Amino acid sequence: VEALVDCPNATEAYTYRIPDGMTVEPGDILSVPFGAQQMGALAVRRLTRLPEDLSAEDVRPVEAVVGRGFFPPGYWDLLQRVATEYCTPLMQVVRTALPPGLLRRSQRRIRLCDSAPSTPEDTLSTGAQKLLAVLRQSATADYTWTYLKRQSPRANQGLRELLQGGWVESYLEPPKAVRPKQRQAVTLTGAPPLNDLSPRQREVLDVLRRQGGELWLQDLLQLCHTSSSVVQGLEKKGSVTIHRREVLRREMTHATADQPQALTPDQAKVLEAIAPLRHYQTLLLHGVTGSGKTEVYLQAIAPLLQEGKSALVLVPEIGLTPQLTDRVRARFGDRVLVYHSALSEGERYDTWRQMLTPQPFVVIGTRSAIFAPLHNLGLIVLDEEHDGSFKQDQPAPCYHARTVAQWRAQITDCPLLLGSATPALESWHNAQSADSEPSNTLYLSLPQRVHARPQPPIQVVDMREEFRQGNRSIFSRSLQDALTELRDRRQQGLLFIHRRGHSSFVSCRACGEAVDCPHCDISLTYHQPTADATPMLRCHYCGHAETVPKLCPTCQSPYLKPFGSGTQRVVEEVERHFPDLRCIRFDSDTTRTKGAHRALLQRFAQGDAELLVGTQMLTKGIDLPQVTLVGVIAADGLLHLSDYRAGERAFQVLLQVAGRAGRGDEPGRVVLQTYSPAHAVVQAVKRQQYDRFAHEELHQRQLGSYPPYCRLVLIRLSSPDAEAVRRTATAIADQLRAYEAWQVLGPAPAAIARVARRFRWQILLKFPLEIAPHAVDWEELVRSHCPKQVSLTLDIDPLNFW
DNA sequence: AGCACGCCGACT
DNA sequence: GTCGGCGTGCTC
């Protein structure tokens, strides 16, 4: 059998012998010998004879089949397609798709010997003594070697001494499979009650009978304030049985029951289009904020469950959408499974196992949930489909869940529903029917809010003017008025800040212009690698660099200033100007811990504060009817981000935050402060005209030849050795420039040039649409030119440019 | 990952 | 002259 071994360095398949009496099918999870250890592996295909370059004695036998039946029909094709299109080894994709812990490996462990050592303790070196001390701390006196090495500085030498002296032994622990969690259940046998029961036993039986004849042992003991010996006594007498039963670890539900709501005529029309679909079809549901997209999803899913089909609902970040999750739970109860990477290993494993059962489920999860092994998939929904977090850019494969969803829908022949108030331009573009061919995406729209509530008016405030008028506060007079009004009317509001670490731009407080790259139509990024370094302006795309000018290149004013304003500062300002308005800070600092997000939102919903001050997080999943004011402190941080999607993203974020206002009966109001009131994005947001914005932006993309009119491939290089990355990046770029099929931009250092002690460079390639990036021999052209010390990743259709 | 092999700096 | 550090390469 050919198997993929779960070893970071071994990406291609290895051949193993199937021992007599064992059956192995493709897709089975195996345990195989690999060097000195045992590794998790995945059976790929059966071979009928030995590969040419292997002799029979080279081939070792499969140790065991650890799991089977993990892949629904077509799943294998999906993984294969992801590997091919994203130019990643299949094993890498398998690791992303499967829950961690499914593939296990053996571990080197060290434990204290029982027998007496042959060397006296005081002759041992300090390294050896330290190891002994660590081992003796624990009751089992048994640790993994990796852990011990971390604990003690001279571990290698120390271990040798201890092994020779007979103090410790070293052994390879075979991999243990993650096991379903077991609990003990106690069941009444129905045997006639015996007379020789003790009073305590009688009491226990009584409780058990009253509770329906079956309880978890733990719960029973707690109810009766007794110990397990009593229950064991009952078992001996034949009155109850105690047996281990699998329990599935899953998140607690916060759900209250929820009923389907009456649909608006628009919603009904949309649902009518979705409901009859039973085959592959992509739908774009473009519904303004507050138009009730969620209700449409829920009512589209309900009949599928009746038919025994499952649905997959993908959301950008599960933590940010507790309201949606709660609502799906409330509607479908225990049919709902939540799957995302923040689940514990056990929870993921259990959820995965449950999905393999043939019952229908609604799986709600983040991007990795696109790989949920559902058997009978009837619908895939991507909520907020424009959101960038559907794209993975950290470990390969750098996949986009929307793209993978497309493939999955195709393979399983089910509809794919993309929902957003501000669709990604790609999705919008796909939904437009070109002259040459009809669109493959069906366009559905919800242009009105539910209950005919109006969209909140958006007031744009020119902060240059405020500055000229002598207002140095971060709040314009309009926003101050709005806050005063908010206080007087006892309403609630959101203050939105865009803050993005140190990668910001430089703009002029007098004229509002940002400093642009002379070679590209893009703002330069402000770089200051260390506090004492000279700040520089750099271009991500072409590598151009210059020092920060003393005067504004446009108006010669000296008020050039790197942008960046934090939530903290805004909260302080509110406290200073509006002491009776209470704030809750809502950003990555305050929502770091599990559940903090939900807790803060709950406090705000209860009225513990009038203002929620936060970053990007405010744009998602907040649906609070009492919010009437949204203030955008400075839109500029968003406007001048230095990549081709900056405009699109800014538009989406601004329109999304604006959409948080006026969702209840009270009308909403939005104050958008900016130094660039004339910026096309600001104007488009003000008008709240998605269509026109999309049209114009696409036109720009076409002129500049950017996606969706071309495809991008980003080559990311990093190394602890600054010179080595630079050299490699240059060499690879030169190599690539020899071809006319694509256009090479760069090499250029990454925006954040050094992260975790690694220096980072990148090369951007533009492919015409006729050429598929995965048709290129990257191994030959790129990877083989990359020395060991430099790591290289390919990002196909990148969204983030480091 | 874990292990072996092989090449350069601090000790007998 | 050796021991032991870790860079490099391999595991069916």
Q: Show the low-confidence residues of chain A (pLDDT under 50).
A: 252, 500-503, 529-530, 564-565
Instruction: Please name the nucleotide lying closest to A789, CA to C1'.
Output: C7
Helix (H, G, I), strand (E, B) or coil at A171: strand
Chain B positions with any atom < 7 A from a protein CB: 1-4
Rounded to the nearest 5 percent, the helix, strand and coil shares of chain A are 35, 25, 40
**Contact, A16 CB vs strand C, < 7 Å:** yes
Beta bridge partners of A760: A718
CA of A104 to C1' of B5 (A): 27
CA distance A42 to A31: 8
Q: Which residue has the tokens 């480091």?
A: A802
CA of A105 to C1' of B3 (A): 15
Instruction: Please name the nucleotide lying closest to A9, CA to C1'.
Output: B1
* Residues A77, A328, A422, A418, Cα dihedral to 10°: 30
Instruction: Please name the nucleotide lying closest to A34, CA to C1'.
Output: C11
Say what the pLDDT of residue A367 is.
94
CA of A124 to C1' of B8 (A): 27
From residue A323, give the alpha-carbon distance in Å to each of A109, A254, A314, A597, A636.
Answer: 45, 10, 14, 11, 30
Terminal C-alpha separation, chain A = 41
Contact (CB, 8 A) for A384 and A419: yes
CA of A802 to C1' of B8 (A): 38
CA of A161 to C1' of B5 (A): 22
Say what the pLDDT of residue A565 is.
42
Instruction: Please name the nucleotide lying closest to A156, CA to C1'.
Output: C4
CA distance A108 to A146: 8
From residue A378, give the alpha-carbon distance in Å to each of A61, A250, A268, A321, A331.
Answer: 40, 24, 20, 23, 18
CA of A82 to C1' of C9 (A): 29
List residues, Cβ < 7 Å, touching strand B: A 7-10, 34-37, 105-108, 144-146, 172
Contact (CB, 8 A) for A417 and A293: no
**Token pair recorded at residue A242:** 């105690």
**Contact, A55 CB vs strand C, < 7 Å:** no
Contact (CB, 8 A) for A465 and A484: no
CA of A152 to C1' of C2 (A): 25
Say what the pLDDT of residue A260 is.
85
Instruction: Please name the nucleotide lying closest to A54, CA to C1'.
Output: C12
CA of A53 to C1' of C12 (A): 11
Contact (CB, 8 A) for A31 and A141: no
Say what the pLDDT of residue A220 is.
76
**Contact, A58 CB vs strand C, < 7 Å:** yes
Report H helices in A705-764.
722-737
Say what the pLDDT of residue A503 is.
40
CA of A794 to C1' of B4 (A): 32
Say what the pLDDT of residue A510 is.
78
Give the residue with minimal CA–C1' separation from C9.
A9
Say what the pLDDT of residue A251 is.
52
pLDDT digits (tens, 9 = 90+) for A144-177: 877 777 676 667 777 777 877 778 877 767 666 6
Say what the pLDDT of residue A757 is.
64
What are the strands, taking DSSP E only, across A535-621? Answer: 536-538, 545-547, 560-562, 583-586, 611-614
Say what the pLDDT of residue A526 is.
72
**Contact, A577 CB vs strand C, < 7 Å:** no
Largest CA distance in chain A: 101
**Contact, A786 CB vs strand C, < 7 Å:** no
Which amino acid belongs to residue A213? G
Contact (CB, 8 A) for A299 and A332: no
Phi, psi of A336 (to 5 degrees): -95, 130
**Contact, A561 CB vs strand C, < 7 Å:** no
CA distance A124 to A165: 9
**Contact, A34 CB vs strand C, < 7 Å:** yes
CA distance A614 to A155: 47
Instruction: Please name the nucleotide lying closest to A158, CA to C1'.
Output: C4
**Contact, A52 CB vs strand C, < 7 Å:** no
CA distance A452 to A550: 52
CA of A781 to C1' of B5 (A): 31
**Contact, A789 CB vs strand C, < 7 Å:** yes
Contact (CB, 8 A) for A325 and A318: yes
**Contact, A54 CB vs strand C, < 7 Å:** yes
Helix (H, G, I), strand (E, B) or coil at A29: strand
CA distance A518 to A515: 9
CA of A8 to C1' of C9 (A): 14
The total of other beta-carbon atoms located within 10 Å of residue A136's CB is 10
Instruction: Please name the nucleotide lying closest to A15, CA to C1'.
Output: C12
CA of A96 to C1' of C12 (A): 24
CA distance A92 to A261: 43
Contact (CB, 8 A) for A338 and A325: yes
**Contact, A626 CB vs strand C, < 7 Å:** no
**Contact, A719 CB vs strand C, < 7 Å:** no
Helix (H, G, I), strand (E, B) or coil at A79: helix
CA of A463 to C1' of B6 (A): 67
* Angle made by CA atoms A356, A360, A361, in degrees to the nearest 5: 80
**Contact, A165 CB vs strand C, < 7 Å:** no
Q: Which residues contact A764 (CB under 8 A, 6 or more apart)?
A: A541, A712, A713, A714, A715, A744, A745, A746, A798, A801
Helix (H, G, I), strand (E, B) or coil at A630: strand
Give the residue with minimal CA–C1' separation from B1.
A7
Give the residue with minimal CA–C1' separation from B3.
A36
Q: Which residues contact A291 (CB under 8 A, 6 or more apart)?
A: A266, A267, A421, A446, A447, A448, A449, A450
Phi, psi of A430 (to 5 degrees): -65, -30
Q: What's the whole-model pTM score? A: 0.81
Q: Which residues contact A317 (CB under 8 A, 6 or more apart)?
A: A366, A389, A620
C-alpha closest to that of A736 among A693, A777, A787: A777
CA distance A25 to A46: 7
Contact (CB, 8 A) for A736 and A781: yes
Instruction: Please name the nucleotide lying closest to A53, CA to C1'.
Output: C12
Helix (H, G, I), strand (E, B) or coil at A738: coil
* Angle made by CA atoms A80, A344, A9, in degrees to the nearest 5: 40
